[in-house]
Amino acid sequence: MVPRKMIYLAWIGLLSILSMACRKAEPTEDMAIQKKWIKGISYESPSNSVGAEIYGPMRNVNANYVAIIPFGFVRPGNPTVYYDLNWQWWGERTEGVASLTEDAHAEGLQVMLKPQIWIGGGGFTGTYDPGEEADWQVFEQGYYDYILHYADLADSLGVALYCIGTEWKVFATSRPVFWERLIDSVRVHYKGALTYAGNWDGYTRFPHWQKLDYIGIDAYFPLSDEEVPTVEVLQSGWQETKQKIFSHQQALHKPVLFTEYGYRSVEYCTRTPWESGRGGRLNMEAQVNAYQALYETFWQEPWFAGGFLWKWHSPHTEAGGLTNDRFTPQNKPAEAIVKQWYAR
């Protein structure tokens, strides 16, 4: 007869082996992030209807996500939120968003739906403040309806990722109760993953990261005052910022997603990367180096989930080019850098 103690020890050993096997089979947090790696493109909503052909050039640079942006509008002095109206571009209205999303899915691309407010006159959403409490109430109700409208649409279309706001500062920090109510309501209406696009200089102050799935950052961090900094200079410029992002990520245990990133093809494009005005001397090397440094700094970090480059236009054959000084990398040397890194 086999002694009872030997049977017991054998049984414990078997359980230990099975436990180890199960632990190996379970995905780690890092593995989960890698499985959801986002190689995204922010697409400018077209003014008129387009078809699935717009996605071919995106797939050619190995993108797997596209951000579709149905803008809403607020006018100075009027807290009403306007959206989904006949005077808006086709790609900003419900019909256009639905068509763009369905075509993206048919072409093998996932979608981040990113409703975003445009302040009349080019005002910055970060400093927007309706003023009186009564105006805050009007604005909040309008914004709530706007976000819930597209949350319902996102859910009906099987959208993978939904962004509930972009670059708010005053609104995000001074009205935390509203944001908690908004997130809870969106969770009822929409079953996919959620993020918020925090501005580069205020993302840590968003009060409810724990209720979301990704730490979203519009990554227009200043990196260098040089005219055309090298990749090495820019990598050095990233280090302090990268450590701060990593510390924030470690505190929250959420993957980091660059909800926007990009650079104009001009000299000094990494000094104040958020500036979108005209002017500046054309320089393709500056844009290439900026993209390369960003990818080399972040693209292989296990806590980093990817990002959405800013910005892509259609038709592709007429976009960007060697005389274009805007953000798009289309038909510029930077497009090859995107394609190279998005293939990884």
CB-based burial label for 125 (10 Å; 0-12, 13-18, 19+)? buried
Domain count along the chain: 1
Give the pLDDT score at 121: 87
298 inside domain: yes
40 inside domain: yes
299 inside domain: yes
Q: For tokens 């798009």, what's the residue?
A: 328
Q: Which amino acid is at 173?
A: T
Q: What kind and span of H or E run contains 267?
A: none
Q: What is the pLDDT along the chain (344 residues), one digit of tens a residue?
A: 434 333 333 433 433 333 333 333 333 344 344 447 999 999 999 999 999 999 999 999 999 999 999 999 999 999 999 999 999 999 999 999 999 999 999 999 999 999 999 999 889 999 999 999 999 999 999 999 999 999 999 999 999 999 999 999 999 999 999 999 999 999 999 999 999 999 999 999 999 999 999 999 999 999 999 999 999 999 999 999 999 999 999 999 999 999 999 999 999 999 999 998 888 999 999 999 999 999 999 999 999 999 999 999 999 999 999 999 999 999 999 999 999 999 98
**What are all long-range contacts of 133-138, with beta carbons under 8 Å and residues at least 24 apart?**
135/79, 136/79, 136/175, 138/79, 138/80
pLDDT tens column, 110-145? 999 999 999 998 899 999 999 999 999 999 999 999
Q: What is the pTM of this model?
A: 0.90
Asked whether 185 and 148 are in contact (CB, 8 A), the reply is yes
- Domain that includes residue 170, residue range: 32-342
53 inside domain: yes
3 inside domain: no
Give the pLDDT score at 85: 97
8 inside domain: no
Give the pLDDT score at 251: 97
Q: For tokens 């509930």, what's the residue?
A: 164
Q: What is the CATH number of the domain that holds 76?
A: 3.20.20.80
Give the pLDDT score at 179: 98
Give the pLDDT score at 20: 33
DSSP structure class, residue 282: B
Asked whether 101 and 68 are in contact (CB, 8 A), the reply is yes
Give the pLDDT score at 122: 82
Asked whether 255 and 303 are in contact (CB, 8 A), the reply is yes
pLDDT tens column, 240-256? 999 999 999 999 999 99
286 inside domain: yes
266 inside domain: yes
